[in-house]
Structure 1
Amino acid sequence: MSLNENEILSYINEVNLLLKNAYVPYSQFPVAALLIDDNGCKHKGVNVENASFGLTICAERNAITTAITENMKKIKVLVITGNTPEPISPCGACRQVIREFSDKDTIIILANKDNKYKIASIEELLPYSFSAENLE
C-alpha cells in the first residue's frame, strides 16, 4: 500500500483533531492515534492518564485495543501525533504492541500538531524485535 501526500495530510489533520480529547491533567502532554486496519476500518485513541502513573494508557495502545475489540487482525496504517516540535515517537511499550499487530507493509506515520511528519516501518522503530515468529 502507498499513500499520497493528500491522504497523509488528511489522516494527520484527522488525528490532530483528537488531541483535545486526551485526558492529560498531570503531564499536559496530549497524544492521539489513528489506526486503519486490514479491513479499512478506522480506530482512534488518545492518551488517558491516571494519578497512579503506571495505569496511564498511551494513545497508540488505546487505538490498538479498540481495534482488537472490533476484530482487527493487522494494522495497515498508524498515525501518531502530539504537541511536539518534531514528529512524535512512540514509547518502548507502544512499539512492542505495535509490532504485535504489524508487518513489513504497515505504514507508521509519526507527526506533530503542525503537520510535520516522518514515515517509518516497524523495523525502523523496533529493530531486532521480539515477535510471534521468534517463537516458532
Structure 2
Amino acid sequence: MEDLIERARDALSDSYAPYSEYRVGAAIRTADGTVFTGCNIENANYSNSVHAEELAISKAVQAGHRAFDAIAVASSERDGVTPCGMCRQTLAEFCGDDLAIHCDEGDDGYSTYTLGELLPNTITAAHLDR
C-alpha cells in the first residue's frame, strides 16, 4: 500500500490550490493493477473546484476502467485526510462497500477504511429504479 500512498503524494506537486493552500493528491488502483492519479484544482468559485479523488477516478473511467480495489489520499499536511462526502458518493458509483481507502498520516503511516465505513447506506442506482 505504501506505493499507492507514494503515488498520491507525488500527485500533490500538480495541485493548484491558491485559495486554501491545502493540496490534495489521490491515486486509485483498478482491478487490473493500473493506477490513475489526480490532484485538487481550485477555482475562485469554490463550487467549480475539482477534488483529487474525482479527477483520479474520472481519468480511470475515461480510460475504460469500471472496477477498482483501492484508493490512497494524501494532503500537503499529511493529516490523514479522508475523501469528502461528494467524493465518497462518486466512488460509490463505481466501487463496492469493500473499496479500501488509505489515508496518508505522514511518517506515522496511514489509516485504512472501507468505503462502506465512510459512507454507510449510500445512494445507489437501485434507489433510482424504485
TM-score between the two structures when normalised by the length of structure 1:
0.86
Q: Is the 8 A contact 1:86 1:116 kept in 2?
A: no
> Which of the residues 70, 94, 97 maps onto 2:90?
97
- 1:25 is aligned with what amino acid? P
How far is the alpha carbon of 1:53 from its aligned partner? 1.2
Q: 1:93 to 1:77 in 2, by over 3 A?
A: same
SS in 2 for 1:95: helix
Cα 1:115–1:58 shift into 2, 3 Å = farther
Matched residues in 1 for 2:94 and 2:25: separation? 18
Give the number of equivalent residue pairs. 129
- Confirm or deny that 1:116 pairs with 2:109: yes
Q: What 5-or-longer segments of structure 1 have no aligned partner?
A: 1-7
CA apart distance, 1:39: 2.4
Residue 78 of structure 1 corresponds to 71
Q: Which runs of 4+ in 1 moved over 3 A?
A: 112-115, 133-136
Q: Which of residues 45, 52, 59 in structure 2 aligns to 1:52?
A: 45
Unaligned runs of 5+ in 2: none
The percentage of aligned residue pairs carrying the same residue is: 29
CA distance in 2, matches of 1:115, 1:46: 22
User: Which TM-score applies when normalising by structure 2?
Assistant: 0.90
Q: Name the SS of the counterpart of 2:79 in structure 1.
A: coil
**1:31 to 2:31 alignment:** no
